[in-house]
Amino acid sequence: AQSVTQLGSHVSVSEGALVLLRCNYSSSVPPYLFWYVQYPNQGLQLLLKYTTGATLVKGINGFEAEFKKSETSFHLTKPSAHMSDAAEYFCAVSDTGNSGYSTLTFGKGTMLLVSP
Amino acid sequence: EPEVTQTPSHQVTQMGQEVILRCVPISNHLYFYWYRQILGQKVEFLVSFYNNEISEKSEIFDDQFSVERPDGSNFTLKIRSTKLEDSAMYFCASNRGPPRDEQFFGPGTRLTVL
């Protein structure tokens, strides 16, 4: 069984400050990991993903995440927050179900608040 | 850029009524999914669909739920007799494959059961 834990339901930063959103996962197979962002009244948009290979992955809007197998973590960072980054962020792990097909398991989400 | 679309954006229904939520996945995608998000809770997997049949389903996806791809473009989720606890945001997603790769999500349908 797979699971995702996101520490902190809300994270507040000032514009220009470092953004760090934490994600820990468990998976019975080598994980595929994703960060999605949800702006108000919109669907889930992929920020970045890790499948295999380089453990530091870069995504859209200046975000990046590092896969650390030893820590079972996939934290999301951005060096300098913009007001437009205010949204809800979801970490997800893709595992293989009983039939061999994929299921996505999400964390509870972290609301990022950016103040001027 | 192609995107997943969902209709309606908001559906209000009475308890016990049937609802059908509609999705148009991205046209060259092969795998289709439904997820739901109850207010304040995490996004939960409901069902995946490939090659015109269900490939995986969660414990949530009981006999009250069904999915269908009635033509080459639509993908529907039917709830036969809605309960209050079915109130949630329902997201459709699709991907081209392999199945473990990123899924593209629609904007969701907010279902309110009164």
Query: What residues in A contact B58, CB-CB < 8 Å?
Result: 103
Checking if the pLDDT of B100 tops 80, the result is no
User: Scanning the structure block, which residue is given the tokens 């945001």?
Assistant: B89
Query: What string of DSSP letters covers chain A?
Result: --EEEEE-SEEEEETTS-EEEEEEEE-SSSPEEEEEEE-TTS-EEEEEEE-SS-SEEE-GGG-EEEEETTTTEEEEEESS--GGG-EEEEEEEEEE-TTS-EEEEE---EEEEEE-
- Most A CBs within 10 Å, among B7, B103, B109, to test the A interface: B103
CA atoms within 13 A on the CB side of A29: 14
- Percent composition of chain B: helix, strand, coil (DSSP 3-state, to 5): 5, 50, 45
B32-77 confidence digits (pLDDT tens): 999 999 988 889 999 999 989 999 899 999 999 999 998 878 999 9
Chain B residues touching A41 at Cβ < 8 A:
107
Using a CB-CB distance cutoff of 8 angstroms, which residues of chain A are in contact with residue B59?
none
Put simply, whether A26 touches B (Cβ < 8 Å) is no
Q: What is the mean pLDDT of chain B?
A: 93
Task: Please report the pLDDT score of residue A94 as a whole number.
Answer: 87
Give me the count of residues in chain A: 116
Give the chain B residue nearest A32 (alpha carbons): B100
Q: What residue in B sits closest to A96 (Cα-Cα)? A: B100
pLDDT at A97: 58
Q: Please tell me the predicted confidence (pLDDT) of residue A100.
A: 61
Q: Is the pLDDT of residue A98 over 80?
A: no
Residues from B contacting A (CB-CB < 8 Å) are 4, 6, 31, 33, 35, 41-45, 48, 50, 55-56, 58, 91, 93, 98-108
Question: Could you give the percent of chain A with pLDDT greater than 90?
Answer: 73
Return the bridge partners of B47, or none. Answer: B34, B57
CB contact under 8 Å between A107 and B44, yes or no, is no
